[in-house]
Amino acid sequence: MTDPTDTSSATDDIVAAFRLDKAPVRGRTVRIGAEALDPILRRHDYPRPVAMLLGEALALAALVGSLLKAEGRLVVQAQGEGPVTLLVAEYSVGGGLRGYARLAEGAAEALEANRMPPAALLGVGTLVLTLDQGDNKTSYQGVVPLDGATLAACAESYFRVSEQTDTCIKLAVGQLFAGDEPPLWRAGGILLQRIAGDDARGDTGEDWNRASILFATLRDEELVDPELPADRLLYRLFHEEGARMDTPAALEDRCTCNEERLTGVMRQFPAEELRDLVEDDGKIHARCQFCAREYSIEPLQIGA
């Protein structure tokens, strides 16, 4: 990173790759706030620990999903039998993010803590990362238990088990308070990976250990500080290693739901079941769990 004071390419709602010139290490960094995170978390008024976990999942989806080169999406999903029965965060190629958490009945009143371990919210369950390449191409899926103290720790287990790649991940979510304005949700994350050794590089273990020690000094507040952009944070962490951040890609709150897709799914339902869905105004009403958009469907559109 040649000029740590140049923040023209380091704004909120971005994801970017970076590398270290003096170590066989690569990574990605993400910052999400007013445009890509806050509306998603505010839309459903989640209890604070649920909002924080979903925010971390969205940051993780952006970090991993932005590795995709072709069309498709990366889905981070966790299920369990705890207060939160389902957690879904999705990244679509092009920078779209959407997320949703489903709570068990009566669970919201009991969740008064701040950050909680995934297992405390989801109970005994699994973390599933799915790469959906679209166009009838093969999907890839990795599954690990939700036994880490944080979502980042669970994700590190995924890379260690499924990808067999040394990986460090840090995720953080917080709120920015400014006067009388409603607090603004923010999230940040960094993913660091070791590049395997070869004849040219030799053993990369020592370089990886050095980079991992520097990474371990990273604090949550640094990842969500609006006064500490992503490129400056990377310079602070790895300036001695020659950190270089690529041009960032934009992220946005973007749901993939639409009426055409919804009616296409409904046409596959039995006619009797569709008739039972018709309400007093003669229409079928549906609501997207992710973006809360309401749809009003004429029964004749779907053969009901």
Q: How many residues does the chain have?
A: 304
Residue-level pLDDT at 200 = 65
Half-sphere exposure of 150 (CA within 13 A, CB side): 16
| C-alpha to C-alpha distance for 99 and 146, rounded to whole angstroms | 19
User: Which is it for the CA torsion 178, 115, 101, 146, positive or negative?
Assistant: positive
| pLDDT one-digit tens code per residue, 157-175 | 999 888 888 999 999 999 9
Strongest mean pLDDT among 5-9, 106-110, 254-258:
254-258
Q: Which residues contact 157 (CB under 8 A, 6 or more apart)?
A: 144, 145, 147, 148
Is the per-residue pLDDT at 116 higher than 70? yes
Q: Which residues contact 250 (CB under 8 A, 6 or more apart)?
A: 13, 14, 95
Is the per-residue pLDDT at 245 higher than 90? yes
Q: Which pair of tokens denotes residue 200?
A: 């040219």
Domains in the chain (CATH in brackets) are 14-253 (3.55.30.10), 259-302 (3.90.1280.10)
C-alpha separations of 64 from 70, 117, 130, 208, 301 in Å:
14, 21, 10, 20, 38
Is the per-residue pLDDT at 8 higher than 70? no
| C-alpha to C-alpha distance for 227 and 239, rounded to whole angstroms | 18
- Helix, strand, coil shares of the chain as percentages rounded to 5? 30, 30, 40
Q: How confident is the model at residue 141 (pLDDT cuts 50, 70, 90)?
A: confident
Residue-level pLDDT at 216 = 96
Global pTM exceeds 0.75: yes
| pLDDT one-digit tens code per residue, 70-81 | 678 999 999 988
In this prediction, residues 147-160 reach a mean pLDDT of 92
Is the per-residue pLDDT at 9 higher than 60? no
Q: 102 — phi, psi (to 5°)?
A: -110, 125
Residue-level pLDDT at 198 = 67
Supply the angle between the helices 151-158 and 48-65 in degrees, to the nearest 10: 30
User: Residue type at 248?
Assistant: P
Which is higher by pLDDT, 134 or 195? 195
Is the per-residue pLDDT at 281 higher than 90? no
Q: Which of helix, strand or coil describes residue 124? A: coil
| C-alpha to C-alpha distance for 110 and 41, rounded to whole angstroms | 19
H or E segment and range at residue 65: helix 48-65
User: Residue type at 245?
Assistant: M
